[in-house]
């Protein structure tokens, strides 16, 4: 077994647009962003027009439930095939070191393939690669339908590793001037700048892989998380963004591997890995927005939590968000934004470790019983506050979790409640750019 295989990594065969292509039009943001802002995606459509673009290869979730949904699902594979036949790609058979600059900070990442044989998205998984939030199985079939017939993958998946000493990327930074630049351009709509550098030196590549392997050295692993040595299986990679996309790739691989054997491109998934301790990587909360209530939310919450729930009126958003963000009390505090005012919810003796988990348990019950038409998950506070003012809507402002707690929580407790955290604001999310063949030649 090679060093790469030992840590669940494959060296990718990445397809990039040729230098003559307009990468600003080619590269668009992850499909699950700006889901309550159709105007953003209208701007994308106008920028891209008919130019070759990943926009034509994805289903932005803002279109779910609209005529555009079926049109895009049925047309994606044809677009991919057309792009392959039109000879617009060049191939880079290396890891790619990524520098993503937004504002005054630069986040670092590395494009790799992850071995789906070493990944499990189910609760209680002990594999080297794990989910960090609950996977909603009902969300997989439509995604499977799209991916299983697609000749290419073009991921927005971000996967984290826990490297407080910066042993993986720190030494690589000193080699930047010796790496081959494969792209360097401004992203659309104020999302910053993206640079990609191919790791062509085999010695540099081996140092990266060795540093990753050292993170799961049994003694180092046990000491880092204050664990009894040998009691817990090592966790090297934990999901950041794109949990359901990676779960979809896993489900397809499990279905097809008895027919194709273990040496098939679908065994791997192309992802970007990032160090959770990167100073430019922030954990933002994911707020909740309820549309078109059929039942009174406060009455239903009081019935659900009983005497555990108290609430009080607040006179300003700044005061409300400051109290929630401070998280100074042992009970859970959540902001509620309505058209007619603001409330601070306080849930005492909660059953969940995180306020977002406490809220989501109620939300699941409320929606299952027909209390509202739907719920959306909002990354930006401005959008949350604006949309919450519409009659019948209600917004819930939740605090962010400390990113340093993620790995230990997953190791000890398993996956977090879904939509617990977001890595950065919406405009900082990963853009589609790199492609990879997932069907055998």
**∠ Cα 170 175 179 (to 5°):** 125
- CA 115 – CA 271 distance, rounded (Å): 11
- CA distances (Å), origin 275, targets 180, 341, 347, 360: 22, 40, 34, 28
Beta 283-285 vs 193-199: how paired, if at all? unpaired
Whether residue 6 is predicted with pLDDT greater than 90 in this model: the reply is yes
The pLDDT, as a whole number, for residue 441 is: 66
Q: How high is the mean pLDDT of the chain?
A: 93
Phi, psi dihedral angles at 180 (to 5 degrees): -85, 120
Summarize the confidence of residues 402-424 as an average pLDDT.
87
- CA 204 – CA 122 distance, rounded (Å): 34
Provide the whole-model pTM: 0.86
The pLDDT, as a whole number, for residue 162 is: 98
Summarize the confidence of residues 163-186 as an average pLDDT.
95
The pLDDT, as a whole number, for residue 415 is: 86
Strands (E), 155-293: 158-161, 180-186, 193-199, 237-241, 268-275, 283-285, 287-293
Summarize the confidence of residues 283-296 as an average pLDDT.
91
> Chain-centre distance of CA 276, in angstroms?
13
Beta-bridged to residue 208, according to DSSP, are none
Domain boundaries, the chain: 3-282+423-437, 287-397
The pLDDT, as a whole number, for residue 148 is: 84
Neighbours of 120 (CB within 10 A): 17
The pLDDT, as a whole number, for residue 107 is: 97
Whether residue 109 is predicted with pLDDT greater than 90 in this model: the reply is yes
């Amino acid at each position: 077994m090679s060093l790469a295989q030992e840590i669940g990594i494959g060296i990718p065969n990445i397809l990039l647009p040729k230098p003559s292509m307009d990468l600003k039009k080619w590269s668009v943001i992850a499909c699950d962003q700006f889901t309550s802002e159709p105007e953003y995606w209208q701007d994308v459509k106008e920028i891209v027009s008919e130019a070759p673009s990943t926009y034509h290869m994805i289903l932005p979730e803002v279109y779910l439930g609209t005529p555009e949904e079926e049109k895009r699902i049925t047309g994606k594979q044809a677009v991919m095939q057309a792009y392959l036949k039109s000879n617009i790609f060049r191939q880079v058979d290396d890891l790619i070191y990524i520098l993503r600059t937004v504002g005054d900070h630069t986040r670092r990442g590395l494009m790799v393939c992850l071995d789906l044989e070493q990944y499990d998205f189910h609760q209680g998984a002990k594999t080297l690669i794990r989910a960090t939030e609950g996977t909603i199985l009902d969300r997989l079939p439509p995604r499977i339908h799209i991916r299983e017939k697609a000749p290419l993958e073009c991921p927005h998946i971000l996967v984290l590793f826990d490297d407080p000493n910066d042993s993986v990327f720190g030494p690589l930074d000193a080699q930047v001037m010796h790496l081959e630049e494969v792209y360097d351009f401004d992203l659309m709509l104020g999302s910053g700048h993206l640079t990609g550098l191919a790791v062509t030196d085999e010695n540099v590549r081996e140092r990266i892989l060795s540093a990753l392997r050292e993170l799961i050295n049994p003694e180092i692993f046990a000491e880092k998380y204050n664990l009894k040595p040998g009691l817990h299986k090592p966790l090297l990679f934990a999901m950041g963004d794109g949990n359901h996309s990676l779960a979809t790739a896993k489900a397809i691989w499990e279905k097809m591997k008895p027919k194709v054997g273990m040496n098939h491109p679908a065994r791997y998934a192309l992802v970007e890995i990032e160090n959770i301790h990167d100073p430019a990587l922030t954990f933002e909360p994911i707020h909740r927005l309820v549309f078109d209530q059929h039942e009174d939310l406060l009455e239903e919450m009081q019935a659900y939590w009983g005497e555990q729930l108290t609430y009080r009126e607040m006179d300003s958003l700044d005061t409300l968000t400051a109290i929630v963000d401070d998280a100074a009390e042992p009970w859970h505090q959540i902001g509620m934004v309505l058209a007619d005012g603001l409330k601070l919810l306080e849930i005492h003796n909660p059953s969940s470790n995180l306020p977002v988990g406490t809220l989501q348990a109620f939300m699941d019950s409320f929606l299952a019983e027909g209390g509202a038409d739907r719920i959306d998950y909002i990354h930006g506070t401005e959008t949350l506050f604006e949309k919450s003012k519409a009659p019948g809507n209600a917004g819930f402002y939740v605090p962010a979790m400390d990113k340093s707690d993620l790995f230990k929580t997953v190791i000890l407790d398993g996956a977090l409640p879904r939509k617990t955290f977001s890595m950065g604001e919406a405009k900082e999310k990963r853009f589609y750019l790199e492609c990879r063949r997932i069907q055998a030649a």
